[in-house]
Structure 1
């Protein structure tokens, strides 16, 4: 039996490197030899058991890049040449629903998400099998590992679209973690130049400054976010993105956005938040929800990683082996991770590989 090296959520709070059977390749599927998979905040919450969307025994992972390793019988080798560098969109819509939900795939009630669905081994492994229609090519000259950034960049691309941001607007981002960082990239790709990021961690403030944003510490004073926005722009923000999703960051966004402005909820730090309803109704502010992305937004994000001068490389703080990953999950769960994204490298020099067993 052919096995592969995988990170298995053995129990909540415990990750293990194990040899597991790899998934069979369906007729319309592609097998990808994974090179890098990013650790998402939702993976960390799954590791701790907080979000209720990951389960013991599961192989998680949905932010990945790799190369084409094998094809199902119905997949064209001309369209998917062996060794091609690719990523994959983890939001899978059934074929029979594809036309009805074209352009809004995230709304399909029968969709599933690779890395979330517990019965499908996902991308914290040497190999992952995905539908061919979800495979997206990566430019050969894009920075190594940057394909694992496409998924969080797609979240940001979709949020910016949902908020109808235009280049001349003043924008606040609450939260300078990987999604906040991705929002800075998405806003810059939209032409926005006036960006303030509110972030308490000094290392993350330094990182978003490298990306071209003005960083402020929300803990410096009670009105630090509002004061920082007005100091930077000379006026409140037109649009604010809450990349954290807790009561405090939502309140800061509402306080710092102009009358008639928009607040977009991107982060999901808490299932329930306190809301000052009067700050929405009397100021005629709009609250916009956003979740994952459309297939088109994902493809758009895949093109960004090849753009020179964006600073994509700053989003990657560490590349580790599978054997280093269990300790990193524990570190991230304790809130002690690096400023940017951590990638786990598979099929790379020094990384463990699967083996043939009888």
Structure 2
């Protein structure tokens, strides 16, 4: 089978690898499409140090069950079934797992991040059966690859305690910012606005029915209250840099919550007095629980929103390296690019089309 292998910083190559065999408790997933995540880009460039030579990345995926390993019957999966994959592999036995907080499991492994796991930028991958989430055949197939980033945004909003009285500011209108804003709407926030300097992304946000603010159009401390009808009570920082954290603290209301979900920088400086003397709360957010992932998959199937606007590029495996490079250099304005390991000619990839070369 073909897979996209990271050879080093700024280097990706398509290689022929053996088709993996599912171990007991595992499922072989024939990959239809996998989204290029911002964390993949930062790993590709070496910025975050969380991707490694020899690794097959990819964790925002949709596919079909290709083969069932032993001891998987209890999960009720069948060959050819449309599925997505929860990338967080947890032990299932610790206190965090028992509390449905698998993202905090001390021994967690994340598909697409752990270099020992051959992941979703490939024609096929093996995953634990308990991480496979079935999807309706009525769902637009591409939506399956959006579940993971949408679950990230949903968890961030939940971590911030988003509710009906909240005025929510999202900083950064990329895929995670879009997901966080949609999650705030999903949770019934009183008002939601997204600060985003890129005009193409602001247009996308408007198409999704969201209010977009251009931070270059004036002082953010003036623009945001105008858009929200008051200072934010909850800010979701989907960038994660010193500048955006400072902006969040400068514009938010006293006693507000700031959720850090973006991972642009491994370290940020925080103006401590803006936290302590004005009693703000800074909250970390990483991934999602198993229930939040499954609930998001259900929401994607039921929402009336046209989520197709979230996908702005489609490439096959041979074009993926160039897409990574153009996205990393800022030359490609696309918000979300999907990689189709089997090619883009048949996006539906019916069960009959699921063929992987050895």
Which residue of 134, 139, 145 corresponds with 1:137? 134
Moved more, 199-208 or 184-193: 184-193
Alignment of 1:34-183 (within 5 A): 34-76=31-73, 79-97=76-94, 100-183=97-180
Distance 1:137 1:159 in 2: 24
**Aligned counterpart, 1:236:** 231
RMSD across aligned positions (CA)? 1.8
Contact 1:91 / 1:113 at 8 angstroms: preserved in 2? yes
Is 1:278 the counterpart of 2:273 in the alignment? yes
Question: Counterpart of 1:284 in 2: which secondary structure?
Answer: coil
Which residue of 29, 33, 36 corresponds with 1:32? 29
Distance 1:309 1:96 in 2: 37
Residue-by-residue CA offset, 1:226-279 (whole Å, 9 max, x unaligned): 211121233111111100011111111112211111111110111222222111
Contact 2:168 / 2:228 at 8 angstroms: preserved in 1? no
Contact 1:314 / 1:340 at 8 angstroms: preserved in 2? no
Structure 1 residues 250 and 48: alpha-carbon distance in aligned structure 2, compared to 1, 3 A threshold: same
Distance 1:49 1:100 in 2: 31
Contact 1:207 / 1:339 at 8 angstroms: preserved in 2? no
Is 1:311 the counterpart of 2:313 in the alignment? no
Contact 1:210 / 1:311 at 8 angstroms: preserved in 2? no
The two structures have a TM-score, normalised by structure 2, of 0.93
Contact 1:143 / 1:305 at 8 angstroms: preserved in 2? no
The two structures have a TM-score, normalised by structure 1, of 0.93
Gaps of 5+ in 2: 347-353
Return the offset for 1:168.
2.8
Distance 2:95 2:111 in 1: 17
Is 1:355 the counterpart of 2:357 in the alignment? yes
Return the offset for 1:353.
6.9
Gaps of 5+ in 1: none
Which residue of 202, 207, 219 corresponds with 2:199? 202
Residue-by-residue CA offset, 1:7-63 (whole Å, 9 max, x unaligned): 111222111111111222111000011001000111111111221111111111111
Runs of 4+ in 1 over 6 A off after TM superposition: none
**Aligned counterpart, 1:333:** 328
**Aligned counterpart, 1:218:** 215
Question: Counterpart of 2:312 in 1: which secondary structure?
Answer: strand
Which residue of 262, 286, 292 corresponds with 1:291? 286
Contact 1:177 / 1:339 at 8 angstroms: preserved in 2? no
Distance 2:287 2:244 in 1: 20
**Aligned counterpart, 2:16:** 19
Distance 1:339 1:229 in 2: 25
Structure 1 residues 118 and 209: alpha-carbon distance in aligned structure 2, compared to 1, 3 A threshold: same
Distance 1:227 1:355 in 2: 58
**Aligned counterpart, 1:248:** 243
Distance 1:305 1:292 in 2: 17
Question: Counterpart of 1:21 in 2: which secondary structure?
Answer: coil
Distance 2:290 2:97 in 1: 13
Contact 2:91 / 2:97 at 8 angstroms: preserved in 1? no
**Aligned counterpart, 1:8:** 5
Distance 1:68 1:353 in 2: 12
Question: Counterpart of 1:219 in 2: which secondary structure?
Answer: helix
Structure 1 residues 242 and 99: alpha-carbon distance in aligned structure 2, compared to 1, 3 A threshold: closer
Is 1:188 the counterpart of 2:190 in the alignment? no
Distance 1:100 1:90 in 2: 15
Distance 1:13 1:353 in 2: 30
Question: Counterpart of 1:260 in 2: which secondary structure?
Answer: coil
